[in-house]
Amino acid sequence: MVIDDEGRTVPVPAEVRRVVSIVPSLTEAVAATAPGLLVGATDWCTHPAELDVPRIRGTKNPDVEAIIALAPDLVVANQEENRLPDLDALRAAGVAVYVTDIRTLDGAIASLGRMLAACGLARPGWLDAAERAWAAVPEPVQRRRAVIPIWRRPWMAVGSDTFTGALLARVGVDNVLAADPERYPKFDPVALAPHDLVVLPDEPYLFTASDGPEAFPDVRAALVSGRLLTWYGPSLVDAARELPAALR
């Protein structure tokens, strides 16, 4: 038995040989640590590129019956990414489900270590490298205020209590919607508080130079990789190196 990030007792077997991940970040973390352990992943699990496992639809609409048919020893999930009814359906079928809850940078490092340990894995070198990389990021000399859209039609953005907001704060970018009661609120670009930067990721909405910046006139637009901005896992190493320069 292990305890997940939600405080649930998870009936993990003594030896974990088959894992299904229903979160792209966790898929990459497991695959980078123990190639061959994964036996299923979502359609959105794009890293590592060579991952060849059965696909079980998306994070919000996983094929529960297909997951059960894969006979996993453990399913790894996330409090924000996955829906409770899907997780409860897996539990009701006797599947062990481990849920992560990641909202800060330090929290991501700790949570990933616990999740991998639940899979029977030792702390991997890439996790140590990620911790060192972020510890080496210098304190920002000047802070900026930004909005971080994640969708348009309707416009939605990063709000309060999110991993993305914490990551940006570490590199000196303060979210103008950080005090919003919702984690991903709808917003009107015209009615935003003063800000000097708009950070436009390429996922979940694919913002481009011609689709997004025009809604924020007179504000610098930074187009960034959504994987570096929102994924927790091996990509954290690249994020520590690339995000400060991209948002300078």
Is 48 inside any structural domain?
yes
Q: Give me the pLDDT at residue 1, please.
A: 83
**Are 171 and 223 contained in the same domain?**
yes
CA distance 213 to 208: 8
Is 129 inside any structural domain?
no
CA distance 246 to 225: 10
**Are 18 and 116 contained in the same domain?**
yes
Express as a percent the part of the chain with pLDDT over 70: 100
Please determine, for residue 68, whether its predicted confidence score (pLDDT) is greater than 90: yes
Q: Give me the pLDDT at residue 248, please.
A: 82
Q: Is 120 left (phi over 0), alpha (psi -120 to 50) or beta?
A: left
Please determine, for residue 34, whether its predicted confidence score (pLDDT) is greater than 90: yes
Q: Which positions ≥6 away from 38 have C-beta within 8 Å?
A: 19, 20, 21, 27, 30, 31, 51, 53
pLDDT band with cut points at 50, 70 and 90 for residue 141: confident
**Are 15 and 109 contained in the same domain?**
yes
| For helices 24-33 and 105-118, angle between their N-to-C axes, nearest 10 degrees | 60
Report how many domains make up the chain. 2
**Are 7 and 103 contained in the same domain?**
yes
**Are 160 and 65 contained in the same domain?**
no
Average pLDDT for 54-79? 98
DSSP E strand stretches across the chain: 2-3, 9-10, 19-21, 38-40, 74-78, 97-100, 144-147, 149-151, 156-157, 173-175, 197-201, 220-224
Domain end residue (candidates: 123, 155, 187): 123
Please determine, for residue 202, whether its predicted confidence score (pLDDT) is greater than 90: yes
Average pLDDT for 214-241? 96
CATH code at position 171: 3.40.50.1980
The model's pLDDT over 115-140, given as tens digits with 9 standing for 90+, comes to 999 999 999 999 999 999 999 999 88
**Are 241 and 161 contained in the same domain?**
yes
Domain end residue (candidates: 123, 154, 183): 123
CA distance 150 to 156: 6
- Structural domain range at position 89: 2-123
Is 226 inside any structural domain?
yes
